[in-house]
Amino acid sequence: MQQYIIRRLLLIIPTLIGVTVLIFLAMRVIPGDPLKSMAGETSLYVLSDEEYEKVRKSLGLHRPLVVQYADWVFDVARGDLGYSFWRTKEPISKTLIRRAPITFQIAIIAIVLSWIIGIPAGILCAMRRNSSADYSLRMLITFLMAIPNFWLALVFLLITVVFFQWRPPFEVTYLWTDPVRNLQMTIPPGVCLGLGMGSIIARMVRATFLEVLREDYVRTARSKGLKETLIVKRHVLRNAFLPVLTLTGLQLAALLGGTVAVERAFNIPGLGFSLVFAIIERDYMMIQNLVLLFGVCTIAVNFLTDILYGVIDPRIRFS
């Protein structure tokens, strides 16, 4: 187990290097010059050619790409993420620290809610296969899977504002500052995301449960006279949970950068919201560091998922 963890940690290093290279090159390949956007023909102040080159040198954009990449990686390793092209008063690191807790909290709420909804619904559908409850829940699951998250968020806002005269707080409040106002701000988007994710998990749980219920060791347990609840608890639940764990890891990694539509609907300035505006503004430094943060979180989630495999299912050997 310890050797497996060490090997996995060592494999993270080349993976991170590959992620940084892809991010850096992608920012240089996409069309558009941020300096021309900031001080070009459509801006209030037009730079001359001499001033343009002077600004490029001050930002280090005139140096070879290899040198720029090395400087960026070393700065990130030191915790210096630089400054945004547009918002030079606040370092990027402070911007991420200020906005990351909200996005992480929304993602955690969505994951927890998806488990609360998806796992019991999937088990119920599998245990009562082809019954009226199974058909009804499957129709609801399909309906929730088909609804876009942003549409569900808009409907939620419309219902709460029109019928209950309630709207989420306009100011960003953290959990440790004002828990009540923070939960009022983060629970609605978490619910909108968790409903769709829970429907996917319910469908996965139903399929894996039906597959495990057909295994020989389940038939053997039934032939020995064990109760159905005991069979599900000891033999079925743990074996059917592995695909759900994999799906949850993928969903959590996708949520960190995929909450932009819901964040925009609820006017929450999270990480996904920041990424979209950075792309619109061609803010290379902000995009690079945001995508790198998403990549690091994805790698960390996949690593933890692999470790939990062995904890849940002792049959897995880390070889």
For residue 103, tell me if it sits in a domain: yes
Q: What is the pTM of this model?
A: 0.80
pLDDT, position 116 = 92
**Residue whose structure tokens are 């609907």:** 265
Structure tokens, 113: 């809610």
Residue 32 inside a domain? The answer is no
Asked if residue 17 is part of any domain, the answer here is no
Of 15-19, 31-35, 36-40, the one with minimum mean pLDDT is: 36-40
Encoded tokens for 315 = 């049959």
CATH of the domain at 265: 1.10.3720.10
pLDDT value at 112 more than 70: yes
Q: Is the pLDDT of residue 188 over 80?
A: yes
Best CA proximity match to 204, nearest among 149, 141, 259? 141
Please report whether residue 57 resides in a domain.
Answer: no
| 8 located within any domain | no
> Which of 77, 108, 48, 100 shows the shortest CA–CA distance to 251?
108
Kindly state whether residue 302 falls inside one of the protein's structural domains: no
CA pair distance 180, 313, nearest whole angstrom: 39
Token representation of residue 303: 């690593």
* Packed helices 92-127 and 271-281: angle between N→C axes, nearest 10 degrees: 120
Quick: pLDDT tens for 288-301.
Answer: 888 888 888 888 88
Whether residue 77 lies inside any domain: the answer is no
Could you tell me if residue 37 is inside a domain? no
Cα torsion through 16, 22, 24, 28, rounded to 10:
180
Instruction: Sort 284 into a burial class: Cβ within 10 Å, 0-12 / 13-18 / 19+.
Output: buried
Query: Residue 32 is encoded by which pair of tokens?
Result: 């558009």
pLDDT band at 44 (very low <50, low <70, confident <90, very high): very low
Domain count across the chain:
1
Task: Please say if the pLDDT value at position 252 is more than 50.
Answer: yes
Phi, psi torsion values for 287, nearest 5 degrees: -65, -45
pLDDT for residue 66: 86
Domain ranges, residue 256: 99-270
